[in-house]
Every structure is written in structure tokens, then in C-alpha cells.
Amino acid sequence: MEGGLQLGGERPGRPLVGGVEAEHAGEQHHDPGAGRAADGLLDPLGAEAGLVLGPLQRVVAPAGVPGGHRAAGSGAGRSSSGKGQGFNATLLGGCRPLAAGTTRDPYPAPPHPNDARARPYDDGVGAAPRVAVIGAGAVGCFFAAQLAAGGRAEVTVCARRPFGDLQVSSELWGTTLRAAPLVQTDPAGLQAPFDAVLLATKAHQTAGAAAWLAAATGPGTTVAVLQNGVEQVGRVRPWVPSSAVVLPAVVYCGVERTGPGRVTHRTHGWFHLPDGEAARAVAGLFPPERELVQPVADWPTTAWRKLCENVTANGVTALTGRRMEVLRDPAVQELLRGLLAEATTVAASEGAVLPPDYADRQIARVAAFPDGVGTSMLYDRLGGLPMEEDAIYGAVVRAGARHGVATPLNQALLTLLAAISATAAGT
């Protein structure tokens, strides 16, 4: 495969401790104006500031597509030769199954009407792969902009409301990236199927995005699920053809949406996929400079490490309505120890390899965050929105039940947070 292939997964230059990266800021966010000076502290990638990703690439809009929108001034798209730029679309369509024991598709699905769908660009001349990004929030806009600006794929953003172009202001990299992908607001207008789909809604919004998933996918589409938790595949599988490849993703990217199509980027900036041909094909869609997609060999460790990070900080900040400073309270730290004892025991049962002192290290890490930093769950609570408690604490409880591991503290947080989310959702 050409261009951008990222192998091995663990980020170069980051120390590994028992297979675990020594430093991850997870998905803790900064408020606008709060704690920004800490970015360099939180992420050594700040040293890369000033590197420009690539030229603005314009993306072609399928003619006459209902619900489609295009930013003013964008019109070019496919190369005049009609050839793809550095990616062979058949790589996505022809993915081989991973070896037994890997996590790709443990949820068999019945046949789906889209299984018989024709591929519009399957004309054998190497047309650019087509990617749909479902969800124009912080994560969706960030990665859609990188994809569109990289010029290796035709990008369609599936959004509930139209917007002009994408603009990613990176405080970490010191860059502003602009891109003008096609924006669709009606699933009926999609020219499906796509070679790849990035699903970037919140976990609990997956079923609500079912019409997009159904409209965008077909035989051999690779769906990367950029959501928190460890159950991404099971969440998405019911809505896509059985022949589609569904890959869970673990996102490390501190981004905040500041307006329609507008994102501020503060920490990290990549997502992991379980290594395999499909993951490498997705990685090849992105510009290679920043290793935006990192396939990893040890998926259970990658997925559960991120889940344990979320378990540590998200629920307590959301329930208390306080930022990371609350995690320095000794009594709160005892609660965190209990939560992590349960979560890491479940993680080990699921095959994750975390160091013996993981909980202490994790608690010390979150306690070192600047006061103003919050979590996505806190921000959802402050915004009166449903939270991702089921994808985080629910996942620990369900896996614990499968393995006979008691998880009363995670259950308690799940129950309390779910009650708040139900109020927010009006149910």
C-alpha cells in the first residue's frame, strides 16, 4: 500500500512502561481560556509546533446530490487524470479477515440490504477513495479536515446542520488548517457506498445516526468508530452490512468545537485502530506527516488503558461539577483507587496488560493536571447534555459480569450518571 502506512502503533518517542505509554492526557479538555499554558506540559508534541500539514485540497461534490453543500470557492476535486492520489481503493474493499482471536468482528450480523449495493467508483481506474465522516463535532471536524486537506481521499461530512468550510485552529501545532469537503445533511443524498466511514458521534448517539450508517455503507466499506469505550463494534454492527468491516478506534485528541465547522485543537491528535490490512488502509487515507492513525498490535491493552483513563476522571468530575482539582482530594483518590481496582481487574480479564502500579500512576497523573482542565463528561453535564456513562462505566460493569468480577463502584457511578443523563435527555 502506498503512503502513510503506520505500523506498530506505539508512538515513537514515548516511553513504554509494561506495554503502556507513560504519559497520556486522555480526552481531558481545556475550557476556552483555561489552562492553556499547560499544553506543552500535557503533550510533548508541542515541540512540533509550526509544521504545516499540507496544501488545502478541494473535494469534488457529486453533481445534483440532494442535501449536499459546498463551501464557496471550492470546486476542484479529483485529479484531472481521474486517478487516486496514493491510495488503492481496492485495499478497503478487499480486506482479509484478521487472524482468530483478534477483535475485528465478534458480533455476527444477519444479511443487510446494502450487501448487494454497487460501488459507484468501482471502475478499475484507481479513483480516489471516498470517505464519509458522520458527526460534525469536535473529533469529526478535526479528522475530516486532516483527510480533506491531505488530498488522498474525497471527503463527505454528514452533519445535522449545514456549514461552510472546516477550520482547525491548533494551539498545539501552531497551525490553522482549512478544508472544504462536501457537507451532506440528508442521508438520502449520499452517493453510497463509501470506501471508508469514520463515525464520530457520541457513543449514545450511534442509533440516532443509523440512517447515515445505512446510507453510507456497502460491501467492503470499512467503518472506523471514533468513540469512547470498548464496545464500538457491537454498537455499530446492527446498522451496517455484514460484509462491512467495523473497526473500533481509540481517540487521543484534545479538541473542542467552537462553532459550526470550527475546532480548536489543544492536545494529542491521533487515533489508534487494531492493526490489520483495513487499519493500514485507513491510515493510508491520511497525510503521513503526523501519524494521525496508528494501528496497534495489542488492542485489548490500548482499548482498556483508554477506558481506565476515562473511568478515573470523567465520572467524578461530572458528578461533582468540579474540574481536575477535585481529583487531588485524598478521599476522592481513595474512590478512584477502588474504581480502578475494579476496572483494571476487568481489563486484565479482557487481555489487557497494564503495569502493577497502574492505578497509582494514573491517579498521580490526573492529580497533576492544571486546575482549569475538565473532562468531556463534565462539559456534557454542564451543558445539560446526556453523557457517555454507559460506554465507560457500563462497559466495565458488563465485562465484569462476563468475567465474574464484582464492580460495585463502577455500577454506582453508572447508576448516578445515568439518572442525570436521563433527565438531560428528557426521558
Ligand X SMILES: NC(=O)c1ccc[n+]([C@@H]2O[C@H](COP(=O)([O-])OP(=O)(O)OC[C@H]3O[C@@H](n4cnc5c(N)ncnc54)[C@H](OP(=O)(O)O)[C@@H]3O)[C@@H](O)[C@H]2O)c1
Q: Which residues bind ligand X (CB under 6 A)?
A: 27, 29, 134-140, 158-161, 200-203, 205, 208-209, 212, 226-228, 251, 253-255, 257, 376, 388
- Give the distance between the most distant pair of CA atoms in the chain: 65
Residue nearest to ligand X (CB): 137
- 74: cell is 471550492
Spatial distance between the Cα atoms of 150 and 291, rounded to a whole number of angstroms: 12
By beta-carbon proximity to ligand X, the closer residue of 152 and 265 is 265
By beta-carbon proximity to ligand X, the closer residue of 231 and 388 is 388
Helix pair 408-425, 395-403: axis angle to 10 deg:
140
Least Å distance, CB 23 to ligand X, is: 16
Q: Which residues contact 64 (CB under 8 A, 6 or more apart)?
A: none
Least Å distance, CB 261 to ligand X, is: 10
Least Å distance, CB 73 to ligand X, is: 24
Q: Answer whether 20's CB lies under 8 Å from 13's CB.
A: no
By beta-carbon proximity to ligand X, the closer residue of 160 and 403 is 160
**Long-range Cβ contacts of 381-387 (<8 Å, 24+ apart):** 381/318, 381/321, 381/420, 381/424, 382/321, 384/424, 385/424, 386/202, 386/204, 386/421, 386/422, 386/424, 386/425, 387/314, 387/318, 387/417, 387/420, 387/421, 387/424
Please give the backbone phi and psi of residue 68, each rounded to the nearest 5 degrees, phi first: -85, 145
Dihedral angle computed from the Cα positions of residues 151, 179, 221 and 250, in that order, rounded to the nearest 10 degrees: 110
Q: Show which residues are catalytic.
A: 306
Least Å distance, CB 418 to ligand X, is: 16
Least Å distance, CB 153 to ligand X, is: 20
- 18: cell is 509494561
List, as one string, the DSSP characters of 64-119.
T-TTEE--TT----S-TT---SS--THHHHTPPPPPTTSSS--S-----GGGGPPP
Spatial distance between the Cα atoms of 120 and 92, rounded to a whole number of angstroms: 14
Q: Which of 213, 117, 119 is nearest to 158 (CA)?
A: 213
Least Å distance, CB 226 to ligand X, is: 5
Burial status of residue 162 (CB atoms within 10 A of its CB: 0-12, 13-18, 19 or more): middle
By beta-carbon proximity to ligand X, the closer residue of 254 and 284 is 254
By beta-carbon proximity to ligand X, the closer residue of 136 and 332 is 136
By beta-carbon proximity to ligand X, the closer residue of 132 and 352 is 132
Least Å distance, CB 236 to ligand X, is: 12
By beta-carbon proximity to ligand X, the closer residue of 254 and 276 is 254
Spatial distance between the Cα atoms of 402 and 418, rounded to a whole number of angstroms: 21
